Structures are given as C-alpha cells and as structure tokens.
Amino acid sequence: MAVCVLLRSFSSNFSTVLPLLTRSASRCPLQLAPKPYFGRTVASANTLVTLKFTDKHEWIRVEDDGVGTVGISNFAQEALGDVVYCGLPEVGTQLAQQDEFGALESVKAASELYSPLTGEVVEVNTLLADNPGLVNKSCYKDGWLMKMTIANPAELDSLMDEPAYERYIRSIEE
C-alpha cells in the first residue's frame, strides 16, 4: 500500500515540478509552453501566476491547460491537524467565487472549503478517500483537492500571490 502511494507521488512529482519552477514566471495567457524561471515576480493585472491564495487559506494553481487546481495551504493543514475525512464536490458542480464546495475534517476540527474562483468542477482527487492524510503530507502536490475551470480569469487578481499571503499569515498570527 505504502509503496503504491510512493510511486504515485513520484510520478506526480514529475508532472508538477515544471509548473513549480515556472510559478513566478510572467506569462501571456496565450503562451502554451512553460519557460523555467527561478526568480520571483510580482503579479500584475493581465498575468496568470500559477499559485494564488484566498484569505480562507485555499490556493489555486492555473495549469497549462487553463484548468485551476485547488488545495489548502500549509498554514491551514497545520492548523487543522491530521485530516481524517475529505468531503469533496461532484464533478460538474458549478461554483461561484467563495461558494462552499466541501469540508475537511480532522479528529477535533471541521473546516468548510470555499471556492477561490467561479467555475465548474472537472476533477476531484479520489486518492483522498483512502488517504486523507495526503492533505497534511503534501498540501501543494499530492494533497490537491479538486480541479475547476476558470470562468472569469480576472477574479485571479482578487487573490493573493505568495508574498502577500505570507504577509497575511504573519498579520493574523500576531
């Protein structure tokens, strides 16, 4: 069992490593091939950046095919503790930005999940049914929650980029 999970994470590492390298790349929406870029850039109005955060600690990463992968941040998974159950939406669910789309449960806490953008659910991480702990172990990779279409890319501008989210966490920790 554990070996299978390792192999799955290994293969998914390859598919996600390129987007991570290009996370901070400035890209024009029409560009199809990601270019590796190791610096950090500040998001600007017409740019698709690959990791953005909500104030409720969800993140969304825009993939090459324009679909958004959604998960919760490291800050959130640490606060929640060992996730024991993931309540995720059905594929095809239409969500408006900030709509509740599911819940994560730990032994002592329950957290509703809120959609970062408007769109339709196209895929749900079925691995979480048997292995909810992936949300804790790999919240940005194997512990992704769902994928959705992005009906209104301009909504991305209302989300925080990584530096802004880091600042936000620091401000609420005080």
Partner 1 sequence: MWARWIVGVRASELGLRASTGGLLRVSGAGCAGRRQQERSSSEEAALKKTPLFDFHKKHGGKMVEFAGWIMPVQYKDSHIASHVHTREHCSIFDVSHMLQTKIHGKDRVKFMESLVVSDIAELKDNQSTLSLFTNEKGGIMDDLIVTKTDQGYLYVVSNAGCADKDSVHMKARLAECKVAGLDVDLEFPDEALIAVQGPAMSRVLQEGLKEDLSKLTFMTSTLATVFGIPDCRVTRCGYTGEDGVEISVHHSRVVDLTEKLLTNSEVKLAGLGARDSLRLEAGLCLYGNDIDETTTPVEAGLVWTIGKRRRQTKDFPGADVIVPQIKAKTARKRVGLVSTGPPVRQHTPILCPHGQVIGEVTSGCPSPCLKKNIAMGYVDAAFAKNGTSIQVEIRKKTLPATVSKMPFVPTNYYSG
Q: Return residues touching partner 1 (CB under 8 A).
A: 55-58, 72, 75-76, 78-82, 84-85, 87, 103-114, 172-174
Nearer of residues 24 and 71 to partner 1, judged by Cβ:
71
DSSP 21-68: HTTT----TT--S-----S-----TT---S-EE-TTSEEEEE-TTSPE
Burial of 124 per CB tally in 10 Å (0-12, 13-18, 19+): buried
- Other beta carbons within 10 angstroms of residue 132's beta carbon come to 18
Kindly tell me which of 65 and 174 has the beta carbon lying closer to partner 1. 174
* Smallest separation (angstroms) from partner 1 to the CB of 7: 23
Taking the complex as a whole, how short is the minimal distance between the CB of residue 174 and partner 1, in angstroms?
7
Least Å from the CB of residue 106 to partner 1: 7
User: Given the complex with partner 1, which of 32 and 107 has the nearer CB atom?
Assistant: 107
